[in-house]
Amino acid sequence: MRIKGKDIYLDTLERTDCKKLWADFEFDFNNPCEELNLGHSIEKADTWFDDIQQQQGVSNIRLGIFLNDGTVIGDVALQDIDRTNRKCTIGMGIQKPEYRSKGYGQQAIRLMLEYGFQYIGIERISANTLEPNIGAQKSLEKSGFKLEGRERKAIYLNRKKVDRLCYAILSEEYLTF
């Protein structure tokens, strides 16, 4: 399944893509995310690939983010899909700093929003990010997400507690955005 954007496309992740993404991940202390894979060997990427395959199309839709030249730079996913209540969450990651802040993540989010709202009938997509992650906040807001709330001191990061920001977008907001 390939979804084309301007500078990127989304496509199925193969095992080799997962290994490359795993090996390429560089933590950004200025825009931190919650999950760290520090200390995990490259073999853990095989487990990640197996998890993706098990959940794909059932509770998640995870695709790789590829530059138009075929270089895999990240992944994006509709997760925790609740077909009864027509809602899910979205998560996205760009592995190397050299590919961040170039609009690729925002393009990936918009492509997944279109897929979720228009093709699988989702009506609400939510996303969380940490308060220090200004890049993620800007990307979500530029994609039409609204800040709905804050979990105060929810995550322990860098020897202090930080807030988790809770965003969401509704299908009718996306269609008018």
Tokens 């899910």 found at: 88
Cα 16 to Cα 2, 26, 31, 97: the distances in Å are 17, 18, 27, 21
Q: How many domains does the chain have?
A: 1
Adjacent-strand bridge partners of 136: none
Residues whose CB is less than 8 angstroms from the CB of residue 32 and which lie 6 or more positions away in sequence, other chains included = 130, 132, 133, 157, 158
> Per-residue pLDDT tens for 89-131?
999 999 998 998 899 999 999 999 999 999 999 999 999 999 9
Evaluate whether 34 touches 137 at the Cβ level (below 8 Å).
Answer: no
Percent of the chain with pLDDT strictly greater than 70: 93
- Please check the confidence at residue 177 and state whether its pLDDT lies above 80: no
> Per-residue pLDDT tens for 10-45?
999 999 999 999 888 877 666 666 655 555 678 888
DSSP state at residue 12: P
Give the residue among 89, 166, 95, 128 at the shortest CA–CA distance from 104: 95
Sign of CA dihedral 18, 24, 28, 31: negative
Q: What's the CATH number where 147 sits?
A: 3.40.630.30
> Per-residue pLDDT tens for 130-163?
998 888 899 999 999 999 999 999 988 778 899 9
Q: How many CA atoms lie within 13 A of 84 on its CB side?
A: 0
Could you give phi then psi for residue 16, rounded to 5 degrees?
-65, -35
Give the residue among 49, 50, 48, 16 at the shortest CA–CA distance from 35: 48
Q: Look up the pTM and report it.
A: 0.91
Segments forming the whole domain that contains residue 12: 3-176
> Per-residue pLDDT tens for 31-88?
666 655 555 678 888 898 999 999 999 999 999 999 999 999 999 999 999 999 999 9
